[in-house]
Structure 1
Amino acid sequence: MISRIYDNKYFGFIPLLLFLIVSYFTSYRLENSDGWGALFLSLSLSIFIYIFLLLIRRSAGRYFAAVSFFCCLLVYLRLCFFDIATSDYTMFLKPWTEQLREAGGLAGLDKNIGNYNVPYLVFLALFSYTEFSELYLIKLLSVFFDLVLAFSLMKTVSVFTQSTLKKSLCLVLTLLLPTVFINSSIWGQCDSIYVSLAVLSLWLMLSDRPILSLAALALSFAFKLQAVFIMPVYLLFMFTGRLKWYQLPVFPAVYVLAVSPAIIPGRGFWDTLLIYFNTAGTVGSALNYNSPSMYSLYRFYWLDEGASAAAAKAGVVAAFILCLIVFLVFFIRRRHINKRSLFFAALLFAVAIPLLLPHMHDRYFYLCDVLILAAAFLEPASSPLVLFSQFASLLGYHAYFFMRYLLPMRWGFAALLVLTITAAYMCASELFQKKRR
């Protein structure tokens, strides 16, 4: 009898009903919420979860009810932290929203407000039309993309396994990852947006849908420059014939569409298109910003301007050489390239490029954090590396939130160096030893 109830296709939605009720009362107790605001938050989150559950129901199989319960629980726990406002919000996101409000919302996109790209500013402009707390709206947006991220990573894993248990675990563990949880619910940052789209693009490419993949990649890049960490893998896809050169214009076309909301009100075309170049000087010139990159090995702030610039160039050259080596190896072994080697190459780029580049921030290994989780389902022996990645990233998170280092950041570099070597080994083992296709 219990088994029949559990297997009922509607049973898995019961946690959602409970979530709707409990989240309303929790939302009502938030500092800047009232009855209508609480209803909006609880309904919005419930709708997000409902859509998510519809999309993953078949993939979760007999574990659907368990996935539903943990999903509702983890989203609810995120809601509990919606009142926390970090300095990134008070110093940047809130003032940007207020400036857009004063400039007329979407009409203000023609002005140089903030140093984020247009798509994210579109959301801030939309938030400016309401008196409801923009802090809650910003976090609501990020939590929605947490769910998109969990779905995208699960679909990527499903390319390599049909196990409903592995896919269900992937869904839950993605939402449970500390860096994913903290980034959206506490920090109120947008990394889940560009990373979810980057992972979605990887899944679509592995599923032989290059046009949609390029579109998703362009959207990811339109939200955050750090999408470039995964872009080199697309050259490897071209080696296999999965991606054709004549399909590449999809990327710039979608990117132009993504930034067009700023062009329409009157912002210059090239000024909008080259926003990453124009705002490069606004993010600082230090070689490291609480990241576990190779620049955490030495106190580079003691260097004079010339030596610091030389050190920065050395990192760029090192990252470029690493990419060239990977390209060369894959080109030589192009007849042996399979989907697993391509995925491991994406992981390698996601960890090694920010590990070598200068000016990296504490959140720039977010893509690595989620891809190594997927890798653990492909190669269970690599599972401990999920902890290595979280350890390295959380050292940076701790430095941001507590304004001091828990441990030297070079310990994080050591952890990620092990991950880099392992990712390179997994690539090589596919290209030189295994026969999978």
Structure 2
Amino acid sequence: MTKVIVGSNAIRGRDHDVNPDRTLPKNWRLAIAIAIGCGLLGLALRYVARKHATDDAIQHLIPWYVFARDHGVAGLAEAFTNYTPLYSYLLLIAARFDWLGDPLSLVKAISVVFELGCAIAVAQIVWRATRLPLRASLAFCAVWLAPTVIFNGAMWAESDSIWTFFTLVSVALFMRDRNGIASFAMAFSVKAQGVFLGPFVLGMILRRRIHPAWLATVPGIYVALAIPVLVAGRSWASVFAVYLDQAHTFNRLTMNAANIWVLAGGMPYAVGVAVGMVLAAASGLVLSIFIARSRRMGPEFILLAACVSLMLMPYLLPKMHERYFYAFEVASIALACLNPRYAPFAVIAQVNGVLSYLAFESEIVLGVLPAALCNTILVYYLVLDLWRGERGFRFPSLAWLGFIVSTAGLFAYLVFEGPGLNISPVYLLTTGLVTAAALLLLKESRCDLAGPDQLPQS
């Protein structure tokens, strides 16, 4: 009996040492203060960027909003956007606040709402897994102020935060041992990119032995969301062929996406599409089977598996845009807050994202190559971590310094030299430095790659 009591006290003491925030209300006050401060800063940044307009926003988003504002609910009979019906409803809601600002600002406000939702969802994921208020607050701030998040919504008025929000909710539900298929179906009903989480969801269905009939919710929710536009008189073909029409919008293997197709630029388009689809499908199936059969448990493993799915699909699939890594870039922040050894993944993901965004924003395409190389490294280590597990961690100070310096050098070179520059020895050198530094950073973050079967027996 004495031994049990001592063990129990030791466990309570150890929990107290690791988790002092549970007993210190001042940490709650600090966490709330940090979240409020970063929240206001994020709003200020979005206000400053409210008038920044891309060609896509001028040619598509603003005319869509104006149509929704001028025609109201009756406009649902027309396919005035090339997105799914849900986005048309959001435009109609935004148009109700037309007196608050110009069309571009109100379109961006839609993204802001869901960006806030993403930040809250990540904070909830971290809080439920760690019960540390400061960690949850940091997660909220990191997502809300993430450079790729600012680029995507505040500057470009894109809507990737919408499907990402439902993706995060789906992952959060699975982490709580609940069914997240309906949320996944919502993500897919917003944009086809929601399918990036598909291998993870299939793996969880097999792992949790969820009835396959739940997969019917994916088309079911899409149909349910389409009912208002169908009642309004829009044709069935225009409603249910949205994703097919989007797939034929352009004929390039990559649209500035930092993925494998940057490294295979000479491959014929038709061959590349076929190879990419087969490669992604096969890899997704392998990932699903691994998740279903793995004996690892816990919220960190589930989140890591989701991150692998969200990273692997846009990395392997052809015809991807630079912003299709958005969900991984956000989810990796949650993973880093759960386990600090994954901080390099989140940081490098943001750097790669910004380098890719610059290709469209400033026509600086030279940054896509090092971003693709670094994403290749990220995919390798994510898959390896999921497969073999991890043991031990230390912060690689020298590697962090090397990555920061080389990345700063690359950004400075790209910004000062400007677009349209031919590849030069200086560029090749800076590209090599960033890639090498990323590799060193990730390598030093892995002190021990021993799998569960190699761990010492207790």
Shared fold by TM > 0.5? yes
Q: Give structure 1 regions of 4+ aligned residues with deviation exceeding 6 angstroms.
A: none
TM-score (norm 2): 0.75
DSSP-derived class of the 2:232 partner: coil
> Is structure 2 residue 397 aligned with structure 1 residue 428?
no
Cα separation, 1, equivalents of 2:62 and 2:311: 31
Structure 1: distance between partners of 2:317 and 2:206: 26
Q: Offset at 1:379?
A: 2.7
1:315 aligns with 2:281: no
> Measured at CA, do residues 376 and 76 of structure 1 come closer, stay the same or move farther in structure 2, by a change above 3 Å?
same
Work out which of the residue numbers 130, 139, 163 in structure 1 matches 2:108: 139
Task: Work out whether residues 294 and 410 of structure 1, in 8 Å CA contact, stay in contact via their aligned partners in 2.
Answer: no
**Cα 1:276–1:204 shift into 2, 3 Å:** same
Partner Cα distance (1:263, 1:58) in 2: 54
> Does 2:313 match 1:344?
no
Structure possessing the higher radius of gyration over alpha carbons: 2
CA distance in 1, matches of 2:34, 2:367: 39
Task: Show the counterpart of 1:297.
Answer: 263
Q: How many pairs align? A: 368
Aligned residue in 1 for 2:349: 389
Once the 2 structures are TM-superposed, how far is the Cα of residue 272 of structure 1 from its aligned partner? 1.6
Asked if residue 114 in structure 1 is aligned to residue 73 in structure 2, the reply is no
User: Identity percentage over the alignment?
Assistant: 26
Name the CA distance, whole Å, in 1 between partners of 2:231 and 2:300. 43
Aligned to 1:240: 207
- Do residues 73 (structure 1) and 45 (structure 2) align? no
Query: Contact 1:122/1:261 (CA < 8 Å) preserved in 2?
Result: no
Change (3 A) 1:374 1:242: farther
5+ long unaligned stretches in structure 2: 1-24, 391-450
Hey, what's the Cα distance between the residues in 2 that align with 1:297 and 1:286? Answer: 14
**Distance apart, 1:101 and its partner CA:** 4.6
- Matching residue of 1:327: 288
Distance 2:26 2:214 in 1: 32
| Distance (whole Å) between structure 1 residues aligned to residue 148 and residue 120 of structure 2 | 17
Tell me the amino acid that sits aligned with residue 351 of structure 1: M
CA-to-partner distance for each residue in 1:384-417, whole Å, 9 max, x for gaps?
1222111211112111111232x34221111111
Deviation at 1:313, TM superposition (A): 1.0
Amino acid paired to 1:198:
T
The Cα of 1:251 is off from its aligned counterpart by: 3.4
The verdict on how the C-alpha distance between 1:91 and 1:58 changes in structure 2, with shifts beyond 3 A counting, is farther
What is the deviation of 1:58?
Answer: 12
Distance 1:419 1:229 in 2: 17
Inter-partner Cα distance in structure 1 for 2:301 and 2:183: 21
Letter in 2 for 1:168: S
Matching of residues 167-178 of structure 1 within 5 Å? 167-178=136-147
**Residue 159 of structure 2 is aligned with which of 178, 186, 190?**
190
Moved more, 385-394 or 261-270: 261-270
CA shift digits 1:331-377 (9 cap, x unpaired): 443x4454332221111111111111110111111011111111112
Q: Which amino acid aligns with 1:421?
A: Y
Please give the residue correspondences for 1:79-118 in structure 2 after superposition, counting only pairs within 5 Å: 79-101=47-69, 104-118=71-85
The one-character-per-residue Cα deviations of 1:253-298 (angstroms, maximum 9, x if unpaired) are: 32222222211201234542332123422x3111111110111114
Counterpart contact for 2:95–2:106, Cα < 8 Å: no
1:418 aligns with 2:377: yes
Structure 1 vs Structure 2 CA RMSD: 2.5
CA contact (8 A) 2:259 2:376 kept: no
Q: Distance in 2 between matches of 1:232 and 1:410?
A: 27
Question: Distance between the aligned counterparts of 1:162 and 1:91, measured in 2?
Answer: 46
Deviation (angstroms), 1:128: 4.6
Contact 1:289 1:359 in 2 (8 A): yes
Matched, 1:250 2:217: yes
Distance of aligned partners of 1:353 and 1:59 in 2 relative to their CA distance in 1, 3 Å threshold: farther
Over 3 Å counting, the alpha-carbon distance change for 1:145 and 1:137 in structure 2 is same
Q: Relative to structure 1, is the Cα distance of residues 332 and 141 closer, same or farther in structure 2, using a 3 angstrom cutoff?
A: closer
Please state how far the C-alpha of 1:62 moved relative to its aligned partner.
4.5
Q: Which amino acid aligns with 1:264?
A: V
User: What do residues 314-337 of structure 1 show as CA deviations (whole Å, max 9, x unaligned)?
Assistant: 11111122112223333443x445
Contact 1:337-1:430 within 8 A present in 2 as well: no
Q: What amino acid is the match of 2:304?
A: F
Alignment check: 8 A CA contact 1:362 1:397 kept: yes
* Residue pair 2:352, 2:375 contacting (<8 A) in 1 also: yes
